Amino acid sequence: MLKKLSYTVFIPLLVIMLLTFGAGCEKEEESYSIETDEEFQQVVDETLERFFREEDTGAIYEELYEKFSDRYTEEEIYGYIETKVKEEEEELRAQEERLKQSKAELEEQVSDYKDQLEELSDQAAMEEVDEQLEPLTNWIENLEEEMEGTTDPYRSNELMN
């Protein structure tokens, strides 16, 4: 009787334990967050420059979607990319504004040097100021030509620095 009782108690208990253990050992599906997914972030950062330089942004987006469609929906990827592009554009505009301000300050310095030059009566001093002024004037002219000649925001950024 004891043997029969042990089988009726231990067998169901053993089955319950095995089911519990098996359920605990199942592989959990990975949960991804687009904001903290380092692999996704890295690929987006590497791809972001292509969004600004290439005309076929749809193809670039499709590459991203194909690579990460198992993790994120099309809307999630598109929304994230759109946000990143806007942030990058704002940063580029801010850098462009800083460059314009720096250019204005340099032009003011050039103007001040020219005023000083006009006030000087000593020829040697005028030549010295003119020599100091020439590289700055040439640099500003070259910078203006480069800025006007490029539509690439990354090249503009390089020129600013």
Nearest 5°: the CA angle 76, 78, 79 is 65
Q: Is the pLDDT of residue 49 over 70?
A: yes
Give the pLDDT band (50/70/90) at residue 26: very low
Q: Nearest 5°: phi and psi at 29?
A: -70, 140
- Is the residue at 27 inside a domain? no
Give the total number of structural domains in the chain: 1
- Is the residue at 9 inside a domain? no
Q: Which candidate, 61, 5, 67, 1, places its Cα nearest to that of 32?
A: 67
Considering the entire predicted model, what is its pTM? 0.50
Query: What residues have CB less than 8 Å from 132, skipping those under 6 apart?
Result: 113
- Is the residue at 22 inside a domain? no
- Is the residue at 95 inside a domain? yes
Task: Give the structural domain span for 122.
Answer: 34-160
- Is the residue at 3 inside a domain? no
Q: Is the pLDDT of residue 68 over 60?
A: yes
Buried (b) or exposed (e) across 105-135, using 16+ Cβ within 10 A?
eeeeeeeebeeebeeeeeeeeeeebeeebee
* Choice between 51 and 83, residue whose per-residue pLDDT is larger: 83
Q: Is the pLDDT of residue 96 over 80?
A: yes
Provide mean pLDDT across the span 71-91: 87
- Is the residue at 17 inside a domain? no
Give the pLDDT band (50/70/90) at residue 27: very low
- Is the residue at 106 inside a domain? yes
Cα–Cα distance for residue pair 2/38, rounded to 1 Å? 60
- Is the residue at 148 inside a domain? yes
